[in-house]
A and B are shown apart, each in its own frame.
Chain A
Amino acid sequence: EAEVAQSPRYKITEKSQAVAFWCDPISGHATLYWYRQILGQGPELLVQFQDESVVDDSQLPKDRFSAERLKGVDSTLKIQPAELGDSAMYLCASSASGGPYEQYFGPGTRLTVT
C-alpha cells in the first residue's frame, strides 16, 4: 500500500539553528499539506500545495518558515532560525485531485528545540 514518506522521524536542534524536513507524497497525489501538531492538540495547517503552487500559506510564519515543492512531487519545509516554541510534530499529508479527497498522512517528524 502506498504511503507518505517523511524524514527525519526525529530531530533535536538548538535554538537559532536551521532545520529542514522532507516529505514524499503518495505517487500521483497533486495536493500536499504540511501541518504542525503541538502536543495535546489537533494538527493545524501550515501550507498547502497544488502541484508546485502554494494554495494556502496564511498560517505559515513566513519570517522563519519556508516551504517548497519545486517539481510538484516531494516537498521540503524549513525553519530558520528555530525557536523553542517550534517544538512539535510536523505532519505531511497528500490527497488526489479528484474526489473523494481523503488526506493520507505520513508518520511525522518530531522536532525538539533546546
Chain B
Amino acid sequence: GNSVTQMEGPVTLSEEAFLTINCTYTATGYPSLFWYVQYPGEGLQLLLKATKADDKGSNKGFEATYRKETTSFHLEKGSVQVSDSAVYFCALSLSGSARQLTFGSGTQLTVLP
C-alpha cells in the first residue's frame, strides 16, 4: 500500500538555524508529493508541492525536491523563524479519480527566539 514516513519529532531549533525534516514514501505508481503545515488549533495549509521527479517545490523560504531514486521529499529551510513553529505533514496522492492524500504522522517544530 501507500505510506509516508516522517522523521519523528519534536524538533526544537534556535531562530535562524537550518531546518531539515525528512520524508520518505512508498507508493504504487508515481505520486504527487506535498508538505502541509498546521498551526495550533487550525486546519492544514498547503506549504508546497511537487508533481514529478526532480521537481522542486518552494514557498516562504521552504524547499523540497522530489527524489524518485531515494523515494524522498525532505523539507528544508535555511533560516527558521519563531513564526515557523507548527506541525509539518508530508503527504502523497496518486493520479486517478480518488487522489486522496496519504499523510505522514507529522513533525512538531518549535523555534526558540
Chain A positions within 8 Å of B, measured between CB atoms, are 4, 6, 31, 33, 35, 40-45, 48, 50, 55-56, 91, 93, 95, 100-108, 110
Q: Say which residue of A6, A31, A43 sits within 8 Å of B44 (CB atoms).
A: A43
The number of chain B residues touching the other chain, given as a range, is 20 to 34
- Tell me whether chain A's interface is mostly helix, strand or loop, or mixed: strand
Q: Is the CB of B101 within 8 A of A108?
A: no
CA distance A42 to B88 in the complex (A): 10
Known: A91-B43, A107-B43. A43 touches B103 (CB 8 A): yes
List the B residue with the shortest CB-CB distance to A92. B43
Q: Is the CB of B91 within 8 A of A42?
A: yes
Q: Is the CB of A102 within 8 A of B100?
A: no
CA distance A9 to B20 in the complex (A): 32
Residue B82 at the chain A interface, CB threshold 8 Å: no
Q: Is the CB of A48 within 8 A of B98?
A: yes
Residue B46 at the chain A interface, CB threshold 8 Å: yes
Q: Is the CB of A100 within 8 A of B49?
A: yes
Residue B105 at the chain A interface, CB threshold 8 Å: yes
CB distance from B87 to the nearest CB of A (A): 9
